[in-house]
Amino acid sequence: MKKILITGSAGFIGFHLTKSLLERGFAVVGIDNLNDYYDPQLKLDRLNALNEFVSANSLHQYYDFLKLDISDSDSLSDLFKKSEFSIVINLAAQAGVRYSLENPKAYVNSNLVGFSNIIECARHANIEHFMFASSSSVYGMNIKQPFSVSDNTDFPVSLYAATKKSNEMIAHSYSHLFNMPCTGLRFFTVYGPFGRPDMAYYSFAKAIINGSPINVFNRGKMERDFTYIDDIITGIISLLDKPPCPKSNEITAASAPFNLFNIGNNNPISLTRFIEALESSLGKKARKVMLPMQPGDVFSTYADISEIQEMFGFSPSTPIEEGIEKFIIWLKSTL
Catalytic residue positions, numbered: 160
If we measure between CA atoms, which residue out of 150, 184, 193, 189 comes closest to residue 165?
Answer: 184
If we measure between CA atoms, which residue out of 56, 55, 60 comes closest to residue 28?
Answer: 60
If we measure between CA atoms, which residue out of 155, 10, 5 comes closest to residue 90?
Answer: 5
Preceding omega of 257 cis (within 30 degrees of 0): no
Residue 226 CB neighbours (<10 A): 27
Residue 213's DSSP bridge partners are 287
User: From CA 315, how far away is CA 30, in angstroms rounded?
Assistant: 27
In whole angstroms, how far apart are CA 62 and each of 43, 50, 58, 69, 293? 20, 12, 9, 22, 46
Sign of CA dihedral 249, 316, 110, 120: negative
Spell out a b/e string for 158-192, using b for 16 or more CB atoms within 10 Å of the CB, else e: bbbbbbbbbbbebbbbbbbeeebbbbbbbbbbbbb
User: From CA 202, how far away is CA 42, in angstroms rounded?
Assistant: 13
